[in-house]
């Protein structure tokens, strides 16, 4: 690939890595080559199984025992990482090369104070004494914007929030001003607003430290925001590489194009657009493939592609794609028709199906009580999709479980189809009508049962279909409706991919022809390309059967795509509710505003981010007055601290809880007025 004139921090040449499993050698990386310039941020993207984590680990040469480097060099400066001695590696790690990865909660030693864990780096790489190192640690803590660093330095990891923990990881990594920083999904698992803060931090640190960065992520938006150059991995091969903006605006490999096309973007809606999933699936690991590795799924594959593996062809300045026919790529049409004419089974204004009234759910008692849901009112109409948005601590999961009948609410009522279903002991009819699709398809299907057995049970209990023959007949219809094949029925879930498992889970919920299905993050655990297929399926099913959904997701673009109306939750309350496009446009609740600005976008013309102050308060001790006041950038003053905000209504049918009236709020939010200082939030 192209090399720049300035010095390169890292150069990977022809890296091939395989894992030994049960005696067989399975190749995970095949001849991967790229380089990262000094001070440059390089993004490595791909879906699960593409090998990007292996690349990151190889850079630090921290591979498991059953990994074998089959070929290649990793030049770090003048030396090859892969052949360096143990002593050299130990010198480099933590000093010249550092890493931050996922799940900071487990990455920090629970028995050692946080300050000391940072100080270790100074002691061993800079030869400082204990006290000097600790002082340096305190300073580093303020560099990563942790407030009250002298207090935090004496804390243990479990006393800090996820965002703070990740900052500690950054402090450790950057303590010695390394030449290379490897980031492996550093924000996965963090809330959207926290994620945005961490990414802000990374941007800021870059100006201070001038470190080269390898940013590994499955999230294209983040990579587009943070990196100058991007490489796309597919099945262990680098299939496209180029400047970030150029690559995302003008992709030249069919896979990159397909990946971009299957992601829901902000503004897309099911009524107008259709997502474009990628057909087929990843080739199994360890199988030798003659020709191009993507050929089986490629819409423009020709005979040459299947016979001969393509080399990287230059496309433009610093931009290359591993495809013989890359010039044809921009002309590939979308697979699915843009707006399908779908007859709706029922008109969307079919009356109210679900009515939740002042629902409260509290856990524990006395002093230890935590109120997860603090008085929530919701209405969902027939055939309507309500999107539910909220971060951790918002109470959306508890609310969902109460609605569907897995938990008993502490107070309030739930009315479904005009009957009271507040308690969780419901009759068969209520169960049939109100079902749920869970987040994690690995967990949601019993691993010991075959798919047929799982569906059979649902058919019997929900649809009342008795007798094996009748059940089998119904099952064929059910499977077909979620695009499962008969051969998928007689296996156990472990043999199926994530997407197929989720289809089984969906089939299971639809077995009794429900009128409402609660979808709890149904696509969050799936790859982007699979997500599109499942979303399409859910939308189709909704249209065909006139089902209502309560659709929970942390991904705002997905919610916007699927939902007719949206409700935003914060600390157990609904703060914003209304038609989907109304909620996502000003005027809307400041929290909604912050959530929207936190989304890393692929568009090059992003607005300045709206930052929230402080950290999320604990649901056990919610703030007085407006619960959001401790973090609100539009904090007014004492009224927000003492008085609970009233419901305001906008012209387009949206309602939100705030002391600022719609006209004023619209003016503030349109003009991008700089936010007010922190609302009395504790550090």
Q: How far is CA 578 from the centre of its chain?
A: 24
* CB 283 to other proteins: min, Å: 9
Structure tokens at 386: 């309500």
Using the minimum distance from each CB to other proteins, give the nearer residue, 54 or 193: 54
Using the minimum distance from each CB to other proteins, give the nearer residue, 29 or 580: 29
Using the minimum distance from each CB to other proteins, give the nearer residue, 1 or 430: 430
* CB 548 to other proteins: min, Å: 17
Q: 302: helix, coil or strand? A: coil
* CB 671 to other proteins: min, Å: 44
Contact 269/338 with Cβ under 8 angstroms? no
Structure tokens at 643: 């008085």
Using the minimum distance from each CB to other proteins, give the nearer residue, 169 or 580: 169
Strands (E), 543-646: 548-552, 565-570, 573-579
Contact 518/404 with Cβ under 8 angstroms? yes
Using the minimum distance from each CB to other proteins, give the nearer residue, 25 or 347: 25
* CB 121 to other proteins: min, Å: 6
Q: How far is residue 633's CA from residue 533's CA, in Å, rounded to a whole number?
A: 38
Using the minimum distance from each CB to other proteins, give the nearer residue, 158 or 337: 158
Angle (nearest 5°) at CA 594 between 589 and 599: 130
* CB 126 to other proteins: min, Å: 12
* CB 448 to other proteins: min, Å: 4
Distances 244 to 9, 13, 26, 230, 256 between C-alpha atoms, Å: 19, 21, 31, 5, 12
Using the minimum distance from each CB to other proteins, give the nearer residue, 49 or 679: 49
Classify residue 591 as exposed, middle or buried by CB count within 10 Å of its CB (0-12, 13-18, 19+). buried
Using the minimum distance from each CB to other proteins, give the nearer residue, 230 or 437: 437
Q: 622: helix, coil or strand? A: coil
Rounded to the nearest 5°, which phi and psi values hold at 41? Answer: -105, 120
* CB 446 to other proteins: min, Å: 4
* CB 11 to other proteins: min, Å: 21
Q: 373: helix, coil or strand? A: strand
Biggest CA pair distance of the chain: 78
User: How long, in residues, is the chain?
Assistant: 683
Q: How far is residue 376's CA from residue 357's CA, in Å, rounded to a whole number?
A: 7
Using the minimum distance from each CB to other proteins, give the nearer residue, 405 or 679: 405
Using the minimum distance from each CB to other proteins, give the nearer residue, 18 or 356: 18
Q: How far is residue 171's CA from residue 164's CA, in Å, rounded to a whole number?
A: 10
Half-sphere exposure of 446 (CA within 13 A, CB side): 11
Smallest CA-to-CA distance from 305 within 313, 296, 315 is with 296
Smallest CA-to-CA distance from 145 within 163, 118, 130, 162 is with 163
Count of CB atoms situated within 10 Å of the CB of 201: 17
* CB 653 to other proteins: min, Å: 32
* CB 348 to other proteins: min, Å: 26
Smallest CA-to-CA distance from 408 within 398, 417, 394, 416 is with 398
Structure tokens at 470: 């009748």
* CB 133 to other proteins: min, Å: 13
* CB 47 to other proteins: min, Å: 9
Cis omega (within 30 of 0) for bond into 587: yes
Smallest CA-to-CA distance from 501 within 481, 514, 484 is with 484
Count of CB atoms situated within 10 Å of the CB of 427: 9
Structure tokens at 140: 């580093």
Structure tokens at 260: 């971009």
Contact 311/33 with Cβ under 8 angstroms? no
Using the minimum distance from each CB to other proteins, give the nearer residue, 374 or 532: 532
Using the minimum distance from each CB to other proteins, give the nearer residue, 4 or 443: 443
Q: How far is residue 259's CA from residue 246's CA, in Å, rounded to a whole number?
A: 15
* CB 321 to other proteins: min, Å: 23
Using the minimum distance from each CB to other proteins, give the nearer residue, 16 or 281: 281
Q: How far is residue 78's CA from residue 295's CA, in Å, rounded to a whole number?
A: 38
* CB 438 to other proteins: min, Å: 4
* CB 496 to other proteins: min, Å: 6
Using the minimum distance from each CB to other proteins, give the nearer residue, 2 or 48: 48
Distances 678 to 454, 612, 681 between C-alpha atoms, Å: 52, 9, 6
Using the minimum distance from each CB to other proteins, give the nearer residue, 428 or 667: 428
Phi-psi region of 281 (alpha: psi -120 to 50; beta: other; left: phi over 0): beta
């Amino acid at each position: 690939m192209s090399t720049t004139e300035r010095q390169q921090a890292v150069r990977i040449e022809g890296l091939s890595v395989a894992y030994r499993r049960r005696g067989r050698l399975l190749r995970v990386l095949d001849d991967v080559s790229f380089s990262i310039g000094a001070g440059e941020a390089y993004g490595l993207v791909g879906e699960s199984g593409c090998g990007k984590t292996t690349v990151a680990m190889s850079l630090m040469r921290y591979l498991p025992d059953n990994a074998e480097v089959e070929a290649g060099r990793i030049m770090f400066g003048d030396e090859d990482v892969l052949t360096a001695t143990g002593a050299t590696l130990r010198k480099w790690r933590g000093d010249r090369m550092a890493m931050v990865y996922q799940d900071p909660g487990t990455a920090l030693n629970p028995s050692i104070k946080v300050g000391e864990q940072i100080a270790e780096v100074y002691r061993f790489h800079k030869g400082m004494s204990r006290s000097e190192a600790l002082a340096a640690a305190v300073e580093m803590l303020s560099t990563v914007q942790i407030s009250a660093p002298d207090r935090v330095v004496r804390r243990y990891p479990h006393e800090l929030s996820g965002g703070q923990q990740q900052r500690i990881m950054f402090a450790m990594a950057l303590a010695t001003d390394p030449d290379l920083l490897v980031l492996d999904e550093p924000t996965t698992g963090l809330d959207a607003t926290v994620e945005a803060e961490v990414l802000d931090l990374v941007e800021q640190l870059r100006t201070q430290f001038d470190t080269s960065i390898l940013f590994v992520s499955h999230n294209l938006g983040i990579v587009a925001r943070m990196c100058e150059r991007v490489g796309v991995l597919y099945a262990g091969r680098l299939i496209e590489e180029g400047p970030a903006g150029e690559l995302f605006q003008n992709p030249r490999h069919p896979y990159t194009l397909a990946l971009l096309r299957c992601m829901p973007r902000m503004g897309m809606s099911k009524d107008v657009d259709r997502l474009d999933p990628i057909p087929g699936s990843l080739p199994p690991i360890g199988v030798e493939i003659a020709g191009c590795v993507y050929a089986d799924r490629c819409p423009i594959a020709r005979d040459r592609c299947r016979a001969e593996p393509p080399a990287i062809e230059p496309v433009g300045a610093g931009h290359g794609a591993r495809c013989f026919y890359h010039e044809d790529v921009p002309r590939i049409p979308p697979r699915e028709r843009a707006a399908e004419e779908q007859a709706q089974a029922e008109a969307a204004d079919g009356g109210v199906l679900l009515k939740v009234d002042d629902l409260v759910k509290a856990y524990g008692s006395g002093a230890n009580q935590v109120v997860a849901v603090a008085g929530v009112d919701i209405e969902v109409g027939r055939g309507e999709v309500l999107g539910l948005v909220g971060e951790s601590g918002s109470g959306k999961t508890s609310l969902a479980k109460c609605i569907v009948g897995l938990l008993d609410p502490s107070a309030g009522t739930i009315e479904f189809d005009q009957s009271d279903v507040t308690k969780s002991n419901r009759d068969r009819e209520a169960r049939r009508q109100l079902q749920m699709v869970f987040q994690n398809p690995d967990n949601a299907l019993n691993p010991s049962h075959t798919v047929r057995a799982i569906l059979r049970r649902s058919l019997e209990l929900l649809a009342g279909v008795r007798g094996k023959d009748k059940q089998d007949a119904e099952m064929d219809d059910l499977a077909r409706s979620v695009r499962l094949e008969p051969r998928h029925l007689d296996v156990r879930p472990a043999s199926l991919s994530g997407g197929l498992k989720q289809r089984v889970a969906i089939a299971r919920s639809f077995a009794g022809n429900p009128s409402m299905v609660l979808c709890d993050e149904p696509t969050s655990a799936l790859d982007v390309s699979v997500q599109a297929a499942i979303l399409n399926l859910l939308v189709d099913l909704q249209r065909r059967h006139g089902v209502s959904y309560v659709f929970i997701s942390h991904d705002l673009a997905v919610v916007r795509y699927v939902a007719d109306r949206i409700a935003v939750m914060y600390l157990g309350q609904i703060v914003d509710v209304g038609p989907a496009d109304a909620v996502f446009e000003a005027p809307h609740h400041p929290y909604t505003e912050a959530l929207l600005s936190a989304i890393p976008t692929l568009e090059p013309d992003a607005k300045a981010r709206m930052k929230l102050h402080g950290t999320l308060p604990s649901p056990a001790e919610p703030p007085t007055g407006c619960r959001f006041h401790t973090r609100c950038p539009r904090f007014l003053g004492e009224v927000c601290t003492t008085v609970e905000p009233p419901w305001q209504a906008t012209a387009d049918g949206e309602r939100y809880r705030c002391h600022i009236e719609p006209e004023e709020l619209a003016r503030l939010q349109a003009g991008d007025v700089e936010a007010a200082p922190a609302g009395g939030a504790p550090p």
